[in-house]
Amino acid sequence: MQTSDTIETDLKTLIVDALALEDIEPSDIETDAPLFVEGLGLDSIDALELAVVLEENYGVKIDDDPERNQVIFASVRNLAEFVRQNRAK
Amino acid sequence: MRQAPVTLAGLLRETRPPGQIVALTAAGSHTWGAFTGHVAALAGRLRAAGRQRWLIFFDDSYDFAVALFAVAHSGGVAILPPNGQFGTIARLRDAADGFLLGDASLVADAAGEVIADPLALLAPGARGVELGDLDAEAPFVELFTSGSSGAGKRVAKRLRHLDEEVQTLERTFGGGLAGASFFANVTHQHIYGALFRLLWPLASGRPFAARTYLHGGEVVGRMAAQPSVLVSSPVQLRAMAESNALRGLSPRAIFSSGAPLDDATAAAVASATGVAVTEIFGSTETGGVAWRQRPQGGDVAWRAFPDVELATADDGRLAVCSRLVSDGDDAGGGRHRFVMGDRVDVGLDGTFRLRGRADRIVKIGAKRLSLPEMEAELARHPAVAEAALVPIRRGLESRVAAAVVPSEHGRARLDDVGRAELGRDLTAALAPYFDRVTLPRVWRFVDALPRNAQGKLPEESVAALFAGDGGDGPPLDPVVEEETAAGNVLRRRCVVPRDLAYFAGHFEFRPIVPGVAHLRWAVDAGETLLGEPLRIAAVEALKFKVPLEPGAAFELEVEADADRRRLRFRLWRDEGEISTGRIVLAREIDD
């Protein structure tokens, strides 16, 4: 069985690979740090791409709900929580 | 002192002292007496050959000058290839019926007269033609602009265009240059070099160096020995400034043209030589437009040359109207009006500031971005000497990639904190001015930008710096440089990426774009034209006529028929069609 820690680790790898982030290792991403703008510096196009890979990898659907998405994408921890609750694969 | 008459049409009829030096060579010099003799002898030979269109390429500027005037005095037109590469000469050779070439092997199998040594005809007692006045309205040269793609555009000029240009230069810059010799590190095969390093000194009675000093440092020793003028380019000046080659040299003037001169180089050259670089702004089509000097760098406005009228076209581009313009709309009185690709702000006093190329607007996630604007903003950062941006395909969207030549300060930062940190610094510096999604996502720090021999920066060369790394693998689509749509026709000017994904699996020995890619690109253009995904029923009349190679420039056109049932597509370039076909669309049946 997959522990919650490995989902966090997997998500970090997924983010780095899917977004082709340069000069960033998965381990550089802090679990609780903001992903967008002031933290990792991701933007709206990245959010689109992340939504695609999350669906591919975990079968989770990101709806077009800005307020909810802001919470989901706030950090790796929130993202992992969302995946745990909604995953289909 | 004699006021030098400045004329090209009457040049060979002038009575100058036969011993006056025309050109400086490695061995010594060529005199006025030799020059008139060489031109007369060669013109006689050319007239006897009965040819009209002579392609001229020489490394040596004196040989070139003799050939150019001999062609004119024999009643012919000179065709000037932008470089002496085999492919360039091969493309232009059918436009010529005679060849004056330093390297005859370039046209070994060409039909037509080939003359490799234009000076050899001056045998004792040889009879040349009588050298009278030339007809100023006669076609004189055909030049080629070195655009960012393909074969370039042909621009024909009458003798008077160049004659008036030379008179303008003498009027604007001639004072203080008495007795100065001209040295150059740019070729005479282009308009800027032809005028500044050759026709102007020749017409005004000043010696010019026959050799082109492509490795800047070498020229300094020659220049130091005499009053001199340097005709150069940003690339060359940057190299000389960086190697401290100019220290202690005090030329009368330094000219630069062909690309923007960066602030740091402008300031470094001024401080090393005590001379502010005179930057020239112009184009093959317009001739000289404006000039400026900025010893401390900075965004100094450009001043138009006398009798050059400037205006802004609808889209902010610079419209130039003068007697020097040889292309565009006829404006009467020997004047033409030509709209350049550069956007400008024209001030009330007629000076202007460049605001980047009009055609380098890209869309990133539906946000418009002017690449030149962001490049200018980057160049203001202390860590940056120069920057070039290019959109590259990453995942779902194009992203901006940045190639940066770090300043000295930037190199120190790079050593201290590394690429990632410096990239983040630069991103943070841009963030206040640009939409978040347009900020560069990939940074490359390089020693020099990949400029071509003319100092231009082809987009595909910049893109090549980022080829093959990261992202979702190599690109599937061409680089679209320009897109125009009118009615039911959409047209794209494209370049084949050198790292196109299709090259991996197809035709390993000689990569060419496979047919499936032609189709994919046509469908993509069709979807843009019709504004919806295409459902394809069939493809008809598919023809692949010639192969399309990596790096090649081409045009793509799709045309929808009236009821939007069929799309005709066509890929072509100047030399002819590449592929054609018809896409039949499926009818909607779900309602």
Do B157 and B16 share a structural domain? Answer: yes
Do B368 and B327 share a structural domain? Answer: no
Cα four-point dihedral sign B532, B538, B544, B547? positive
Angle CA B472–B477–B478, to nearest 5? 130
Q: Provide the number of structural domains found in chain B.
A: 4
Q: Taking CB atoms and an 8 Å cutoff, what residues of chain A touch B365?
A: 44-45
CATH number at residue B62: 3.40.50.980
- Could you tell me if residue B474 is inside a domain? no
Q: Taking CB atoms and an 8 Å cutoff, what residues of chain A touch B394?
A: 20
Predicted pLDDT of residue B505: 39
Quote the CA–CA distance of A72 and B7 in Å, as a whole number.
Answer: 76
Alpha helices in B8-158 (DSSP H): 32-49, 61-73, 86-92
Distances (CA, A) of A89 to A58, A80, A84, B250: 5, 14, 10, 75
ipTM: 0.82
| 3-class DSSP state of B76 | coil
| Residue whose entry in the numeric block shows the structure tokens 């295409």 | B534
Does residue B364 belong to the interface with chain A, where contact is any CB pair within 8 Å?
Answer: yes
Do B43 and B114 share a structural domain? Answer: yes
| 3-class DSSP state of A68 | helix
Q: Taking CB atoms and an 8 Å cutoff, what residues of chain A touch B470?
A: 20, 22
Do B381 and B334 share a structural domain? Answer: no
Summarised one tens digit per residue, pLDDT across range B387-422 is 999 988 766 667 899 999 999 999 898 888 888 889
A20, closest residue in chain B (CA to CA): B471
Summarised one tens digit per residue, pLDDT across range A45-62 is 788 778 878 887 888 877
Does residue B471 belong to the interface with chain A, where contact is any CB pair within 8 Å?
Answer: yes
Mean pLDDT of B491-495: 91
10 Å Cβ neighbour count for B15? Answer: 6
Nearest to B350 by CA among B414, B304, B399, B290: B304
**Residue from the list B397, B436, B442 with its beta carbon closest to the beta carbon of A22:** B442
Nearest chain B CA: its distance from A85 CA (Å): 27
Interface contact A44-B427, CB threshold 8 A:
no
B393, closest residue in chain A (CA to CA): A20
pLDDT band at B151 (very low <50, low <70, confident <90, very high): very low
CATH number at residue A44: 1.10.1200.10
Does residue B432 belong to the interface with chain A, where contact is any CB pair within 8 Å?
Answer: no
Summarised one tens digit per residue, pLDDT across range B302-356 is 999 999 999 998 778 999 999 999 999 999 999 999 999 888 999 888 899 988 7
Nearest chain B CA: its distance from A2 CA (Å): 28
Whether residue B56 is predicted with pLDDT greater than 80 in this model: the reply is yes
Do B399 and B485 share a structural domain? Answer: no
Whether residue B229 is predicted with pLDDT greater than 60 in this model: the reply is yes
pLDDT band at B587 (very low <50, low <70, confident <90, very high): low
CB B14 within 8 A of CB B2: no
Please name the amino acid found at residue B180.
A
DSSP letters, A16-41, are HHHTT-TT--GGGS-TTS--BTTSS-
Query: What is the span of the domain harbouring residue B249?
Result: 213-358
Final residue in a domain of this structure, among B330, B358, B386: B358
Do B370 and B345 share a structural domain? Answer: no
Does residue B472 belong to the interface with chain A, where contact is any CB pair within 8 Å?
Answer: yes
Whether residue B33 is predicted with pLDDT greater than 90 in this model: the reply is yes
Final residue in a domain of this structure, among B203, B232, B257: B203
Burial-class residue B91 by CB neighbours within 10 Å (0-12, 13-18, 19+): middle
CB A70 within 8 A of CB A41: no
Final residue in a domain of this structure, among B358, B383, B404: B358
Alpha helices in B226-379 (DSSP H): 234-242, 263-273, 371-379
Quote the CA–CA distance of B252 and B246 in Å, as a whole number.
Answer: 13
**Chain A interface with B: residues with Cβ < 8 Å:** 18-20, 22-24, 37, 41, 43-45, 48-49, 52
Nearest to B322 by CA among B307, B303, B342, B343: B307
A64: tokens are 């077009």
- Could you tell me if residue B208 is inside a domain? no
- Could you tell me if residue B469 is inside a domain? no
Q: Provide the number of structural domains found in chain A.
A: 1
Summarised one tens digit per residue, pLDDT across range B95-148 is 899 999 988 888 877 777 888 888 887 665 566 788 899 999 999 999 987 433
pLDDT band at B548 (very low <50, low <70, confident <90, very high): confident
CATH number at residue B384: 3.30.300.30
Pairing of strands B98-101, B53-57: parallel
Nearest chain B CA: its distance from A25 CA (Å): 11
Q: Taking CB atoms and an 8 Å cutoff, what residues of chain B touch A44?
A: 365, 436-437
Do B148 and B21 share a structural domain? Answer: yes
Do B287 and B159 share a structural domain? Answer: no
